[in-house]
Amino acid sequence: MMTTTPLTFEPVLTLTGVSHSYEQKPTFSQVSFSLAKGQIGCLLGPSGCGKTTALRCIAGFEDIVSGTIHLNGKLVSSAGFHLSAEKRQIGMVFQDYALFPHLNVEKNVAFGLHRLERNQRQKRVDELLEVVGLSGFKTAYPHELSGGQQQRVALARALAPRPDLLLLDEPFSNLDVALRERLGLEVREILKQQNATAILVTHDQHEAFAIADEIGVMYEGQIQQWDSAYQIYHEPANRFVADFVGEGVFMPGKVLAPDRIEIELGVVRGNMPADCCLGCTVDVLVRPDDVIHDDHSTVQARVTGKAFRGADFLYTLQLGSGIRLLSLVPSHHDHAIGEKIGIRLEIDHVIAFHSQD
Protein backbone atom coordinates (compact mmCIF):
# COMPACT_ATOMS: atom_id res chain seq x y z
CA MET A 1 0.00 0.00 0.00
CA MET A 2 1.44 3.35 -1.07
CA THR A 3 1.60 6.09 1.57
CA THR A 4 1.53 9.80 0.83
CA THR A 5 3.35 12.51 2.70
CA PRO A 6 1.02 15.28 3.89
CA LEU A 7 1.60 18.65 2.28
CA THR A 8 3.24 21.27 4.46
CA PHE A 9 2.81 25.00 3.94
CA GLU A 10 5.54 27.46 4.84
CA PRO A 11 4.22 30.43 6.82
CA VAL A 12 4.46 33.80 5.09
CA LEU A 13 5.84 35.45 8.24
CA THR A 14 7.63 33.82 11.17
CA LEU A 15 9.15 35.56 14.17
CA THR A 16 11.19 33.34 16.51
CA GLY A 17 12.46 34.72 19.81
CA VAL A 18 12.87 38.23 18.40
CA SER A 19 14.22 40.95 20.70
CA HIS A 20 15.01 44.62 20.14
CA SER A 21 16.70 47.29 22.20
CA TYR A 22 17.31 51.01 21.89
CA GLU A 23 20.50 52.42 23.42
CA GLN A 24 20.88 49.14 25.37
CA LYS A 25 17.38 49.48 26.82
CA PRO A 26 15.08 46.56 25.85
CA THR A 27 12.09 47.59 23.73
CA PHE A 28 10.57 44.12 23.42
CA SER A 29 11.88 40.61 23.96
CA GLN A 30 11.30 37.00 22.90
CA VAL A 31 8.48 37.79 20.47
CA SER A 32 7.39 34.71 18.52
CA PHE A 33 4.46 34.12 16.15
CA SER A 34 3.71 33.16 12.56
CA LEU A 35 1.14 34.00 9.90
CA ALA A 36 -0.04 31.75 7.09
CA LYS A 37 -1.01 32.94 3.61
CA GLY A 38 -4.22 35.02 3.75
CA GLN A 39 -4.17 35.30 7.53
CA ILE A 40 -4.56 38.61 9.36
CA GLY A 41 -2.68 39.06 12.62
CA CYS A 42 -2.70 41.90 15.11
CA LEU A 43 -0.39 43.26 17.79
CA LEU A 44 -2.67 44.81 20.40
CA GLY A 45 -1.52 46.71 23.44
CA PRO A 46 -1.16 50.03 25.26
CA SER A 47 1.22 52.79 24.18
CA GLY A 48 4.86 51.98 24.85
CA CYS A 49 4.46 48.19 24.89
CA GLY A 50 6.73 47.69 21.84
CA LYS A 51 4.15 46.80 19.20
CA THR A 52 5.02 49.54 16.68
CA THR A 53 8.75 48.84 17.05
CA ALA A 54 8.04 45.16 16.36
CA LEU A 55 6.23 46.18 13.17
CA ARG A 56 9.20 48.35 12.15
CA CYS A 57 11.53 45.39 12.68
CA ILE A 58 9.34 43.24 10.40
CA ALA A 59 9.31 46.02 7.79
CA GLY A 60 13.11 46.27 7.90
CA PHE A 61 13.29 49.77 9.39
CA GLU A 62 14.95 48.52 12.60
CA ASP A 63 17.63 45.93 13.43
CA ILE A 64 17.00 43.18 15.97
CA VAL A 65 19.41 42.05 18.68
CA SER A 66 18.38 38.39 18.83
CA GLY A 67 16.03 35.89 17.23
CA THR A 68 15.05 35.57 13.57
CA ILE A 69 12.45 36.92 11.16
CA HIS A 70 11.60 34.88 8.07
CA LEU A 71 9.44 35.87 5.09
CA ASN A 72 8.25 32.95 2.96
CA GLY A 73 10.94 30.81 4.57
CA LYS A 74 13.72 33.27 3.74
CA LEU A 75 15.75 34.86 6.53
CA VAL A 76 15.36 38.66 6.47
CA SER A 77 16.56 39.58 10.00
CA SER A 78 18.79 38.12 12.67
CA ALA A 79 21.38 39.43 15.12
CA GLY A 80 24.01 39.46 12.40
CA PHE A 81 21.95 39.93 9.24
CA HIS A 82 19.52 42.56 7.94
CA LEU A 83 17.82 42.54 4.54
CA SER A 84 16.94 46.11 3.56
CA ALA A 85 13.30 47.18 3.66
CA GLU A 86 13.00 47.72 -0.11
CA LYS A 87 13.97 44.09 -0.76
CA ARG A 88 11.36 42.53 1.54
CA GLN A 89 8.28 42.73 -0.72
CA ILE A 90 6.27 44.33 2.06
CA GLY A 91 3.45 46.87 1.70
CA MET A 92 2.72 49.43 4.40
CA VAL A 93 -0.30 51.52 5.38
CA PHE A 94 0.67 54.35 7.71
CA GLN A 95 -1.24 56.18 10.43
CA ASP A 96 -1.24 59.42 8.42
CA TYR A 97 -2.01 57.65 5.08
CA ALA A 98 1.15 59.22 3.48
CA LEU A 99 -0.60 59.87 0.15
CA PHE A 100 1.18 62.05 -2.40
CA PRO A 101 -0.75 65.36 -2.35
CA HIS A 102 0.30 66.33 -5.89
CA LEU A 103 -0.97 63.06 -7.41
CA ASN A 104 -4.60 62.16 -7.99
CA VAL A 105 -6.15 58.94 -6.69
CA GLU A 106 -5.38 56.94 -9.83
CA LYS A 107 -1.70 57.97 -9.85
CA ASN A 108 -1.32 57.39 -6.10
CA VAL A 109 -2.52 53.79 -6.49
CA ALA A 110 -0.35 53.27 -9.59
CA PHE A 111 2.79 54.63 -7.92
CA GLY A 112 4.36 51.25 -7.12
CA LEU A 113 3.45 49.65 -10.46
CA HIS A 114 6.02 51.32 -12.72
CA ARG A 115 7.49 47.94 -13.72
CA LEU A 116 4.21 46.80 -15.30
CA GLU A 117 3.14 47.48 -18.86
CA ARG A 118 0.76 50.42 -19.14
CA ASN A 119 -2.34 48.31 -19.82
CA GLN A 120 -1.49 45.91 -16.96
CA ARG A 121 -0.92 48.85 -14.62
CA GLN A 122 -4.27 50.39 -15.56
CA LYS A 123 -6.06 47.07 -15.12
CA ARG A 124 -4.63 46.62 -11.59
CA VAL A 125 -5.51 50.20 -10.60
CA ASP A 126 -9.07 49.84 -11.91
CA GLU A 127 -9.46 46.51 -10.11
CA LEU A 128 -8.37 47.89 -6.74
CA LEU A 129 -10.39 51.10 -6.99
CA GLU A 130 -13.42 48.93 -7.66
CA VAL A 131 -12.58 46.76 -4.63
CA VAL A 132 -12.23 49.77 -2.29
CA GLY A 133 -15.31 51.48 -3.71
CA LEU A 134 -13.56 54.49 -5.25
CA SER A 135 -13.94 53.89 -8.98
CA GLY A 136 -15.59 57.29 -9.39
CA PHE A 137 -12.73 59.17 -7.71
CA LYS A 138 -9.83 58.47 -10.10
CA THR A 139 -9.13 62.14 -10.82
CA ALA A 140 -9.72 63.43 -7.28
CA TYR A 141 -6.80 64.63 -5.16
CA PRO A 142 -6.20 63.56 -1.54
CA HIS A 143 -7.34 66.90 -0.08
CA GLU A 144 -10.70 66.45 -1.83
CA LEU A 145 -11.37 63.14 -0.04
CA SER A 146 -12.70 62.31 3.42
CA GLY A 147 -10.46 60.56 5.95
CA GLY A 148 -12.11 57.22 5.25
CA GLN A 149 -11.66 57.63 1.50
CA GLN A 150 -8.00 58.57 1.94
CA GLN A 151 -7.49 55.44 4.02
CA ARG A 152 -9.02 53.31 1.25
CA VAL A 153 -6.68 54.90 -1.30
CA ALA A 154 -3.71 54.16 0.97
CA LEU A 155 -4.84 50.54 1.27
CA ALA A 156 -5.29 50.19 -2.50
CA ARG A 157 -1.83 51.66 -3.11
CA ALA A 158 -0.23 49.26 -0.62
CA LEU A 159 -2.00 46.25 -2.14
CA ALA A 160 -1.34 47.23 -5.76
CA PRO A 161 2.12 45.55 -6.15
CA ARG A 162 0.76 42.35 -4.55
CA PRO A 163 3.17 42.40 -1.57
CA ASP A 164 3.99 39.19 0.26
CA LEU A 165 2.97 40.90 3.50
CA LEU A 166 0.96 44.02 4.33
CA LEU A 167 1.65 46.02 7.51
CA LEU A 168 -0.92 48.43 8.96
CA ASP A 169 0.34 50.84 11.63
CA GLU A 170 -2.58 52.29 13.67
CA PRO A 171 -4.39 52.91 10.35
CA PHE A 172 -7.65 54.23 11.80
CA SER A 173 -6.44 56.36 14.71
CA ASN A 174 -7.24 59.63 12.90
CA LEU A 175 -10.86 58.64 12.22
CA ASP A 176 -13.93 59.03 14.42
CA VAL A 177 -15.20 55.99 16.32
CA ALA A 178 -18.21 55.19 14.10
CA LEU A 179 -16.17 55.40 10.88
CA ARG A 180 -13.34 53.43 12.47
CA GLU A 181 -15.61 50.48 13.25
CA ARG A 182 -17.25 50.45 9.82
CA LEU A 183 -13.99 50.84 7.93
CA GLY A 184 -12.38 48.10 10.01
CA LEU A 185 -14.94 45.59 8.76
CA GLU A 186 -14.51 46.85 5.19
CA VAL A 187 -10.73 46.53 5.39
CA ARG A 188 -11.01 42.93 6.59
CA GLU A 189 -13.33 42.12 3.68
CA ILE A 190 -10.91 43.73 1.21
CA LEU A 191 -7.89 41.88 2.62
CA LYS A 192 -9.74 38.57 2.51
CA GLN A 193 -10.91 39.21 -1.04
CA GLN A 194 -7.32 39.87 -2.11
CA ASN A 195 -6.06 36.87 -0.06
CA ALA A 196 -3.55 39.24 1.53
CA THR A 197 -1.41 38.31 4.51
CA ALA A 198 -1.38 41.23 6.91
CA ILE A 199 -0.51 42.35 10.39
CA LEU A 200 -2.16 45.26 12.15
CA VAL A 201 -0.85 47.30 15.08
CA THR A 202 -3.41 49.01 17.31
CA HIS A 203 -4.28 49.94 20.88
CA ASP A 204 -8.00 49.58 20.11
CA GLN A 205 -9.46 46.17 20.92
CA HIS A 206 -12.55 46.82 18.79
CA GLU A 207 -10.32 47.30 15.74
CA ALA A 208 -8.40 44.16 16.57
CA PHE A 209 -11.57 42.09 17.02
CA ALA A 210 -13.13 43.43 13.80
CA ILE A 211 -10.13 42.79 11.54
CA ALA A 212 -7.79 40.10 12.85
CA ASP A 213 -7.88 36.31 12.76
CA GLU A 214 -5.22 36.06 15.48
CA ILE A 215 -4.29 38.65 18.10
CA GLY A 216 -1.14 39.05 20.16
CA VAL A 217 -1.74 41.08 23.31
CA MET A 218 1.50 42.91 24.18
CA TYR A 219 2.52 44.41 27.50
CA GLU A 220 5.90 45.64 28.71
CA GLY A 221 7.66 44.32 25.65
CA GLN A 222 6.27 40.78 25.62
CA ILE A 223 3.37 38.97 24.00
CA GLN A 224 1.14 37.93 26.88
CA GLN A 225 -1.17 35.81 24.70
CA TRP A 226 -1.41 34.99 20.99
CA ASP A 227 -4.86 33.65 20.20
CA SER A 228 -8.21 34.25 18.53
CA ALA A 229 -10.33 37.16 19.75
CA TYR A 230 -12.82 34.71 21.25
CA GLN A 231 -10.18 32.89 23.27
CA ILE A 232 -8.54 36.11 24.44
CA TYR A 233 -11.87 37.47 25.65
CA HIS A 234 -13.22 34.29 27.26
CA GLU A 235 -9.99 32.54 28.29
CA PRO A 236 -7.38 35.23 28.99
CA ALA A 237 -3.94 33.86 29.82
CA ASN A 238 -3.31 36.22 32.72
CA ARG A 239 -4.72 39.09 34.73
CA PHE A 240 -3.36 41.80 32.41
CA VAL A 241 -5.06 40.30 29.34
CA ALA A 242 -8.33 39.87 31.27
CA ASP A 243 -8.25 43.47 32.45
CA PHE A 244 -7.08 45.00 29.14
CA VAL A 245 -9.52 43.23 26.84
CA GLY A 246 -13.20 44.02 27.32
CA GLU A 247 -14.80 45.75 30.28
CA GLY A 248 -15.23 44.25 33.70
CA VAL A 249 -14.65 44.38 37.42
CA PHE A 250 -12.73 41.96 39.63
CA MET A 251 -14.81 40.75 42.58
CA PRO A 252 -13.28 38.99 45.61
CA GLY A 253 -14.23 35.35 46.00
CA LYS A 254 -13.53 32.26 48.07
CA VAL A 255 -12.89 28.79 46.63
CA LEU A 256 -15.46 26.33 48.04
CA ALA A 257 -14.56 23.40 45.79
CA PRO A 258 -12.34 22.78 42.74
CA ASP A 259 -15.20 23.98 40.51
CA ARG A 260 -17.08 26.39 42.82
CA ILE A 261 -16.23 29.93 43.88
CA GLU A 262 -18.38 32.08 46.15
CA ILE A 263 -18.65 35.81 45.48
CA GLU A 264 -21.04 38.45 46.80
CA LEU A 265 -23.53 37.74 44.03
CA GLY A 266 -23.63 33.99 44.71
CA VAL A 267 -21.74 30.81 43.83
CA VAL A 268 -20.25 30.51 40.35
CA ARG A 269 -19.07 27.29 38.76
CA GLY A 270 -15.72 27.23 37.02
CA ASN A 271 -12.16 26.06 37.47
CA MET A 272 -10.16 27.73 40.20
CA PRO A 273 -6.70 29.14 39.38
CA ALA A 274 -3.75 26.75 39.25
CA ASP A 275 -1.94 26.15 42.57
CA CYS A 276 -5.02 27.31 44.46
CA CYS A 277 -6.37 25.37 47.43
CA LEU A 278 -9.81 25.13 48.99
CA GLY A 279 -10.63 28.21 51.03
CA CYS A 280 -8.14 30.47 49.25
CA THR A 281 -9.19 33.93 48.13
CA VAL A 282 -9.40 34.79 44.44
CA ASP A 283 -10.53 37.62 42.19
CA VAL A 284 -13.31 36.75 39.74
CA LEU A 285 -13.75 38.84 36.60
CA VAL A 286 -17.36 39.92 36.14
CA ARG A 287 -18.10 41.48 32.74
CA PRO A 288 -21.12 43.70 31.94
CA ASP A 289 -22.86 40.93 29.99
CA ASP A 290 -22.56 38.61 33.03
CA VAL A 291 -24.81 40.86 35.14
CA ILE A 292 -28.46 40.45 34.10
CA HIS A 293 -31.19 42.93 34.99
CA ASP A 294 -33.95 41.00 36.78
CA ASP A 295 -36.88 42.74 38.50
CA HIS A 296 -37.68 39.53 40.40
CA SER A 297 -34.21 39.07 41.89
CA THR A 298 -33.70 39.56 45.61
CA VAL A 299 -30.18 40.89 44.94
CA GLN A 300 -30.40 44.66 44.69
CA ALA A 301 -27.84 47.17 43.40
CA ARG A 302 -27.94 50.96 43.29
CA VAL A 303 -27.47 52.77 39.96
CA THR A 304 -24.51 55.13 40.31
CA GLY A 305 -23.79 55.78 36.63
CA LYS A 306 -25.29 55.17 33.20
CA ALA A 307 -24.08 55.51 29.63
CA PHE A 308 -26.58 55.36 26.76
CA ARG A 309 -25.34 53.24 23.85
CA GLY A 310 -28.41 53.19 21.65
CA ALA A 311 -29.67 49.63 22.00
CA ASP A 312 -28.25 49.36 25.54
CA PHE A 313 -27.40 51.21 28.70
CA LEU A 314 -24.09 50.49 30.39
CA TYR A 315 -24.98 50.86 34.07
CA THR A 316 -22.51 51.27 36.90
CA LEU A 317 -24.04 49.54 39.92
CA GLN A 318 -23.06 49.56 43.58
CA LEU A 319 -23.62 46.50 45.76
CA GLY A 320 -24.31 46.54 49.48
CA SER A 321 -20.62 45.98 50.21
CA GLY A 322 -19.68 49.08 48.24
CA ILE A 323 -18.23 47.10 45.32
CA ARG A 324 -19.13 48.58 41.95
CA LEU A 325 -19.72 46.56 38.82
CA LEU A 326 -21.01 47.09 35.29
CA SER A 327 -24.15 45.78 33.64
CA LEU A 328 -25.26 45.95 30.01
CA VAL A 329 -29.05 46.38 29.97
CA PRO A 330 -31.48 46.85 27.03
CA SER A 331 -32.23 50.57 26.68
CA HIS A 332 -35.96 50.25 27.34
CA HIS A 333 -34.95 49.73 30.98
CA ASP A 334 -34.25 53.38 31.73
CA HIS A 335 -33.43 53.71 35.43
CA ALA A 336 -32.51 56.85 37.33
CA ILE A 337 -29.26 57.50 39.15
CA GLY A 338 -29.75 56.42 42.76
CA GLU A 339 -32.49 53.91 41.92
CA LYS A 340 -32.14 50.31 43.09
CA ILE A 341 -32.65 47.52 40.58
CA GLY A 342 -32.69 43.73 40.79
CA ILE A 343 -29.79 41.82 39.23
CA ARG A 344 -28.61 38.24 38.88
CA LEU A 345 -25.36 36.69 37.76
CA GLU A 346 -25.12 34.57 34.62
CA ILE A 347 -21.48 33.71 33.85
CA ASP A 348 -20.69 31.19 31.11
CA HIS A 349 -16.89 31.51 31.36
CA VAL A 350 -15.53 31.96 34.88
CA ILE A 351 -12.23 33.86 34.87
CA ALA A 352 -10.46 33.84 38.24
CA PHE A 353 -6.98 34.76 39.42
CA HIS A 354 -5.16 34.67 42.73
CA SER A 355 -6.20 37.60 44.90
CA GLN A 356 -3.81 40.55 44.81
CA ASP A 357 -4.65 41.45 48.42
CATH number at residue 322: 2.40.50.140
* Mean pLDDT, rounded, of the chain: 92
* Pair 35, 171 in one domain: yes
3 part of a folded domain: no
Looking at the domain assignment, is residue 2 inside a domain? no
Query: Are 46 and 104 in a shared domain?
Result: yes
pLDDT band at residue 4 using 50, 70 and 90 as cut-offs: very low
Mean pLDDT, residues 341-355: 90
Chain centroid to Cα 354, Å, comes to 26
Residue of 96 and 76 predicted with greater confidence: 76
Q: What is the CATH number of the domain that holds 131?
A: 3.40.50.300
161 and 188 share one domain: yes
What lies within 8 Å, CB to CB, of 348 at 6+ separation is: 234
Residue that wins the pLDDT comparison between 275 and 170:
170
Q: Mark whether 212 and 315 lie in a shared domain.
A: no
131 lies in the same domain as 273: no
pLDDT at 258 over 90: no
Q: Domain for residue 221, yes or no?
A: yes
Give the count of domains, the chain: 2
Confidence check: pLDDT of 13 > 90? yes
User: Which of 187, 257, 250, 238 is closest to 42 using CA atoms?
Assistant: 187
Q: What is the pLDDT of residue 9?
A: 63
In this structure, the answer to whether residues 256 and 233 fall within a common structural domain is no
Q: What is the H or E stretch that residue 119 is in?
A: helix 118-131
Whether residues 340 and 214 share a domain: the answer is: no
274: containing domain? 247-354
* Residue 231: how many other CB atoms lie within 10 Å: 14
From 163, 153, 149, select the one nearest 106 (Cα to Cα): 153
Residue 1 pLDDT more than 60?
A: no
C-beta atoms surrounding 36 within 10 Å? 14
What percent of the chain is modeled with pLDDT above 90? 79
Residues 236 and 255 grouped into a single domain: no
Burial of 211 (0-12, 13-18, 19+ CB in 10 A): buried
Cα first-last separation, the chain: 64
